Amino acid sequence: MKIGYARVSTTDQNLDLQLNALQLAGCEVVFKEKVSGVNIDRPELVKMLSQLRKGDEVVVWKLDRLGRNLSHLIELVSYFSTKCVSFVSINDKIDTSTATGMLVFHIFCSLAEFERAQIKERTMAGLLAARIKGKVGGKPKGLSEEAKKKARVVESLYNEGYGVKQISEQLKISRTTTYKYISFRKSLAYKSKAV
């Protein structure tokens, strides 16, 4: 069975172009999603993956409609392979049911990996050049004034017996940030006692 997957990043974007292409490709079922590609929670993708059977073919309009990033895309195509499911990207002319299609997919992946490595090398070279000139990059150390205020609120809630999860939900911050704020306030208390 040919199974299509169509995705746009926001609710005000239109799926029509993808849906038309998937229909022309002969997809019998199409899973439609209006959610950002970086979003881990994609219920329609999960639903599609759970319904795949041996011999199925997953069809997308473009590679970036399926995977969040290169590693996620490779992970998905590898999963298809273990389920004996082929993968077709219409716009990228990739069909993993053929040896050539599989080769093209791996070349695309290798080129993307190479590009990422080059970006990393250029970034590292730029940072080194800046350091040699005496410049220091990156985020400034410590917390902003607004973050310091929020850290005081976190500390008082924490001291009143609220759990990290409750504080995170109440203040709409991540648990990691909550722990960071608690740690920041404890280090200030420690420094003031040491003085």
Catalytic residues: 9
Residue 103: both structure tokens together: 């080769």
Q: State whether the Cα torsion 36-50-63-8 is positive or negative.
A: negative
Beta bridge partners of 31: 5
Tell me what percent of the chain is helix, strand and coil, each rounded to the nearest 5. Answer: 55, 10, 30
Residue 35: both structure tokens together: 């959610």
CA dist., res. 95 & res. 76, Å (int): 14
* Integer angstrom CA distances of residue 137 from 116, 134, 145: 20, 10, 20
